[in-house]
Amino acid sequence: MPSAYEIHGAFSWTELMTTDVAGARKFYSNLFGWKIKDMDSSAMEYGIISTGDKEEGIGGIMAVPQEAQGMPSSWGTYVTVKNVDDVAGRAAGLGGKVLAPPQDIPGVGRFAVIQDPQGATLSIITYLPR
């Protein structure tokens, strides 16, 4: 049975970008019982969220990136697509905008951030084969 990481159009990941990573980790761990494990990365501090007895991550927590300083803390979501470049182009052709062009996340896949004609934002991602 395919996972949400493989199904085109499936919601597959959620991510918090925050101005206070330590505070957010403490808050959500206490609130929901989440386990948050540090991801091995020299590029950034990133915590992988898991729930219950499951080891597989369901989301992440990271600091607001330097290029987005001043942005308030917020949750975002990713939808799996077969080809990020194609879907980003289609979004623009349907009246949306590409806010962050398709780019690679080493060891994970390729993503972009789009905005629909009503102004809502969403990240799209094609994962590397697992």
Within 10 Å of residue 30's Cβ, how many Cβ atoms? Answer: 9
- Look at residue 41 in the predicted model and tell me its pLDDT: 67
Domains and CATH numbers, the chain: 16-74 (3.10.180.10), 81-130 (3.10.180.10)
Within 10 Å of residue 115's Cβ, how many Cβ atoms? Answer: 17
- Look at residue 52 in the predicted model and tell me its pLDDT: 85
Give 26-41 pLDDT, tens digit per residue: 999 999 999 999 987 6
Contact 35, 51 (CB under 8 A): yes
Please list the residues that pair with 17 across neighbouring strands: 62, 74
**Which two structure tokens, joined as six digits, stand for 44?**
């950034």
Name the pTM for this structure.
0.87
Give 66-114 pLDDT, tens digit per residue: 888 898 999 999 999 999 999 999 999 999 999 999 999 998 999 999 9
